[in-house]
Amino acid sequence: MKRLTPMTDKVSLWKEAIVKFLDRERHSITLFEFTVNDLTYTGRKRRKPRLRFDAIAFNPFRVGTTSPIRVLEMKSSRRDFLSDKKWRGYVPYSSQFGFICRAGVILPHDLPKGIGLFYIEGAKIVKQAEWTVRTISKEHREAVTHRLHSRAVGLLYEKSLKGLVTI
């Protein structure tokens, strides 16, 4: 059995709070460390590089339509936020994009309008900056949808093996 350290315990509390926060819609699913092909890549490698989102939430029954796809990036420190140059490339893959961190790590004026900012305080998440709903291009939505369906099927299969759901 894996021994919980104070850090892993804190991460699991954060993840639990994020799931509750993102689960606004009925039948919402939240996935962590979600990867998707980078559609902007024009190099010669056979496999496209992948972008990795810290958390993504979607409704598996409406994901192919205009259902929101929410992406959250977790930041542990101001230095982590300032050194991250990749997050702007994540925005086209989501209808709502935001950051989650401890209070004061990122300030609302650090972000462009429409990018959400949420502070985590214990097991509670407090909104600091509103995240607006954007339209996702067909190509970006299809890239995300393909990966979401394969991950969702895998999760349902795992849960069915444990007897938690019936397929």
**DSSP secondary-structure letter at 67?**
-
Strands 70-75 and 124-129: unpaired
Most confident of 55-64, 94-103, 158-167: 94-103
When pLDDT is averaged across residues 3-13 and rounded to a whole number, the result is 55
pTM: 0.79
**Is-contact 118 98, C-beta < 8 A?**
yes
Mean pLDDT of 138-156: 79
